[in-house]
A and B are shown apart, each in its own frame.
Chain A
Amino acid sequence: MTVKITIDGQEVNARAGDNIVDVAAQNGVYIPTLCYTRGKPCLGTCRTCSVKVNGSVMAACTIPVREGMEIDVNGDEITDMRKALVELLFAEGNHNCPSCEKSGRCELQATGYEVKMMVSRFPYRFTPHPVDHASRSIWLERDRCIFCQRCVDFVRDKETNQKIFSINGRGTYARIEIDVELANKMPADQVREAAELCPVGCIIDKTQGYDVPIGKRKFEVKSIRERALGGGHR
């Protein structure tokens, strides 16, 4: 069923039930996302895709379109709110791009550029986060985790479907954990997929380092905005 909605005042037709992020992208409007990836169930954890729906702030990936919805994506206030959400992530973790293996293919970094972040308006916290390198092929760099839960939900043991990653603790004590036994059973391609799925440089494939020269890295070749608007999987 087709419904009529407006995005930033522009009337568009959409398939009922599709989420706002996808519908906006189909109509050339980019909404940044960090936990949501097209083709996978919505997680709604990062809130980076926040837009105004009929005046209320909502995470666009969690909302299916309905007839008559008025969506504000690029208004000044909501644009600044999304920027603030990204700035919070940079202030909360220790995101040292110059020393990160994920730099250039990091979705958080690429999103920082898209929301025009120059500096975080929040005080940088510099909380120590212990690194976990017990697993044979995965290096867990907790400084960079943004708690999107992509790995928790989508990376599972091939045999038992058990979760390999989990979040332990709540609030400021929350931290990402890895089940070393299950992680050691992961085939090489699953390790690569998990590292790729991580929007930041938290899950690092121990066999992969700085292997692409500056200027030719993923989001330098094609920006995260172009990838999001281009359709298909990012």
Chain B
Amino acid sequence: MSQETVTEIFSHELPATQWDPKKKAIEEAKIQVAMIGFCGCWGCHLSFLDMDENILGLLEKVTITRSSFTDLKRIPHHCTIGFIEGGIANDENIEVLEHYRENCDILISVGACAVWGGTPAMRNVVPLEECLREAYVDSVTAVSGAKKTIPYHEDIPKITNKVLPCHEVVKMDYFIPGCPPDGQAIYKVLDDLVNGREVDLPTEMNRYD
């Protein structure tokens, strides 16, 4: 099938409920935050929710645009803060991270995977081919009788040779280590940013596990 005959419909082109204009004006006046999870487990997003009642105060000042919480699949307009979870493990991750860099003033690497690759980076010490072979061809849990093949299709993102930290792909402005970081550590950094203070994660809040 040639490229021309493919009809693609994106989710943002589908009919959607319109915002109440008053509510929309209030939200648009706030600091815009976009969030994304790349090669990670979404644990950092859950940790974001773990800031408990602090989230109420924070949402007075910020509004979340593209994220898994809002189910918005595109950054609707320029954002101030990009919250990035996960390492970079395929070409689609690279494309989306670059899109975030172009559309956010500040990018934060949140969690071990975004900061240095984390658990997915454990595959970095194994050649990619060996890794895929183990997963799809020589897998002990493979369905018996099924054709053993490494999946390949133009619609499937191509896996990078190594899982990369986000800052090796685009410039990242701040880093919150941890697997996941504590909800309060995420709150501290976001609170510093929205109040125009210099970001300072105290030693006792910093952790790598």
- Smallest Cβ distance from B97 to chain A, in angstroms? 16
- Smallest Cβ distance from A20 to chain B, in angstroms? 23
Main secondary structure of the interface of B (DSSP, over half): mixed
Main secondary structure of the interface of A (DSSP, over half): loop
For the complex, give the distance between the alpha carbons of A123 and B203 in Å.
Answer: 23
For the complex, give the distance between the alpha carbons of A94 and B112 in Å.
Answer: 13
* Closest B residue to A225 using CB positions: B203
CB-based contact B112/A118 at 8 Å: no
* Closest A residue to B114 using CB positions: A119
Q: Which residues of A contact B203 (CB under 8 A)?
A: 113-114, 116, 223
CB-based contact B116/A98 at 8 Å: no
Listed residue (B109, B119, B201, B208) with the most chain A CB atoms within 10 angstroms of its CB: B208
CB-based contact A116/B206 at 8 Å: yes
- Smallest Cβ distance from A34 to chain B, in angstroms? 16
CB-based contact A118/B176 at 8 Å: yes
A109 at the interface (CB under 8 A from B): yes
For the complex, give the distance between the alpha carbons of A155 and B121 in Å.
Answer: 33
CB-based contact A119/B116 at 8 Å: yes
Kindly identify, within residues 93 to 133 of chain A, every residue whose CB is under 8 Å from any CB belonging to chain B. 94-100, 103-104, 109, 112-114, 116, 118-120, 123-124, 126-129
CB-based contact A124/B206 at 8 Å: no
Kindly identify, within residues 31 to 46 of chain B, every residue whose CB is under 8 Å from any CB belonging to chain A. none
CB-based contact A97/B117 at 8 Å: no
Among candidates A98, A103, A123, residue contacting B118 with C-beta atoms closer than 8 Å: A98
For the complex, give the distance between the alpha carbons of A113 and B124 in Å.
Answer: 25
Q: Which residues of B contact A120 (CB under 8 A)?
A: 116
Q: Which residues of B contact A90 (CB under 8 A)?
A: 116
How many residues of chain A get a CB closer than 8 Å to chain B's CBs?
26
CB-based contact B179/A97 at 8 Å: yes
* Closest B residue to A98 using CB positions: B179
B209 at the interface (CB under 8 A from A): yes
CB-based contact B122/A119 at 8 Å: no
B86 at the interface (CB under 8 A from A): no
For the complex, give the distance between the alpha carbons of A222 and B133 in Å.
Answer: 46
Q: Which residues of A contact B177 (CB under 8 A)?
A: 118-119
- Smallest Cβ distance from B204 to chain A, in angstroms? 8
- The answer to whether A97 and B165 touch (CB under 8 A), given A113-B207, A126-B121, A126-B124, is no
B167 at the interface (CB under 8 A from A): yes
B62 at the interface (CB under 8 A from A): no
CB-based contact A119/B175 at 8 Å: yes
Interface string of A76-99 (1 = CB under 8 A from B): 000000000000001000111111
- The answer to whether A112 and B208 touch (CB under 8 A), given A97-B179, A118-B175, A119-B109, is yes
- The answer to whether A118 and B165 touch (CB under 8 A), given A98-B179, A124-B117, A126-B125, is no
* Closest A residue to B176 using CB positions: A118
- Smallest Cβ distance from A27 to chain B, in angstroms? 21
CB-based contact A103/B175 at 8 Å: no
* Closest A residue to B122 using CB positions: A96
B162 at the interface (CB under 8 A from A): yes
Interface residues, chain A, with chain B CB atoms under 8 Å away: 90, 94-100, 103-104, 109, 112-114, 116, 118-120, 123-124, 126-129, 214, 223
Given contact pairs A94-B125, A96-B122, enumerate 18 new A-B contacts (beta carbons under 8 Å). Answer: A96-B119, A96-B121, A97-B112, A97-B208, A98-B112, A98-B119, A98-B179, A109-B208, A113-B203, A114-B203, A116-B206, A119-B109, A119-B165, A119-B175, A124-B117, A124-B165, A126-B117, A128-B125
Can you list the 5 inter-chain pairs with the closest CB atoms, starting with the nearest? A126-B124, A98-B179, A97-B208, A128-B125, A118-B175
A-B contact pairs, 25 of them (CB 8 A): A94-B122, A96-B118, A98-B118, A98-B179, A98-B208, A98-B209, A99-B122, A103-B209, A109-B208, A112-B208, A113-B203, A113-B207, A116-B206, A118-B174, A118-B177, A118-B201, A118-B206, A119-B165, A119-B175, A119-B177, A120-B116, A126-B162, A127-B125, A128-B125, A214-B209
Interface residues, chain B, with chain A CB atoms under 8 Å away: 109, 112, 115-119, 121-122, 124-126, 162, 165, 167-168, 174-177, 179, 201, 203-204, 206-209
